[in-house]
Amino acid sequence: MSNRVPFSEALLSTVGTPEQAEILGSSPRARVWRVRSADRRPVIVKQIVDGGDAAADADTRFAREVAGLRLAGRAAGPAVAPALLATDPSSRVMVLEHLEDLGRTDDWMPGYAESLARLHALTGPADAGALPVWSGPTAADAESFLALARAFDVPVPSAVPDELAALLERLDPAPYHALLHGDPCPGNDLRTADGVRFVDFEGASLGNGLIELAYFRIGFPTCWCAMSVTAAPLAEVEDVYRTTWRGLTGKDVPGDLADACAGWLIQGDALVERAHRRTVDQFARVPSEDFEWGYISARERLVHRLGVVADMTRDHDHLHAVGRLGSALADRLLERWPQLRPLPTHDARPWY
């Protein structure tokens, strides 16, 4: 990665001439620098790059992040994202406020949940079209999930196909307009003196906030560092989220959290990092290959999600058969591979 910061004349007038530029870690789809000039405070410069994708995809990700940051900038009181200071669309460069991350905190989840609810509550129906709608599971995902059960010789209850079809209808994002981050994972949540702020809005969309509240239960499905949250800590963070949302909107959180978790379960692409999604049927790989993402394997992620959905749907009006299938499939995976580990607990999250 080059030390040369891609500044246009317009950006130079905003930021000043860089005297120091430090390269920061990032995904292959972006370049990030901490930049200092002689007479201004440090800023973050981020350039969206192709990363193996088509240039059109990089343009889309740049536009999506800029739109997400501008919507997030509406927050009254403590901010929920860094301020967007300047952009250069021709080179897909944005200049962002530099945030001092306080680093490790023992009880990180309540602040995360509060900021997530505040982020989600910033948009409404009037913002339709400002960002793409959330892209959830499809009929092909549901069929792939059923094929996975059949591959392990797990009987599929007769009600499951209809339950999954109804689930897809209930997950339709059209009625919802919460500002979703798209990847609210450890490393994308910075703890500042004023609260948690989220960064990296390349996957921002509009949809139901429960899709991201579900991260706590379903194991942080878009994250390399999957984690398990249970018992009192889980109850606390979900209460923080719901209370914050209600205080801001005057309404209860809409939708069903069990639906959101089941939606994540049936997406095979949620077993791999973004660069490998929409490439092959990831569920079809599971019987013969336990591929890793970070330090957690696909089968370990899957067993956790199956167990979560089974627990949540034992008395569920619309997903009871899906839950029974999930329980049976989890048992089959553990019978065949008893060495599979439970996900690490939330207090084992990585810090940067």
pLDDT in tens, 88-106: 999 999 999 999 888 888 7
Question: Which pTM does this prediction carry?
Answer: 0.94
Give domain limits for the chain.
9-97, 109-348
Burial of 40 (0-12, 13-18, 19+ CB in 10 A): middle
The model's confidence at residue 29, banded by pLDDT at 50, 70 and 90, is confident
Here the tokens at position 343 are 């996900």
Cβ atoms of 105 and 191 within 8 Å: the answer is yes
Q: If we measure between CA atoms, which residue out of 287, 259, 290 comes closest to residue 272?
A: 290
Please tell me if the domain spanning 9-97 has the same topology as the one spanning 109-348: no
CATH code: domain 9-97 is 3.30.200.20
> CA-based angle 175:305:132, to the nearest 5?
30
Output the pLDDT for position 55: 54
Which option is the CATH number for 109-348: 3.30.310, 3.90.1200, 3.40.50, 2.40.50? 3.90.1200
294-344: pLDDT as tens digits? 999 999 999 999 999 999 999 898 999 999 999 999 999 999 999 999 999
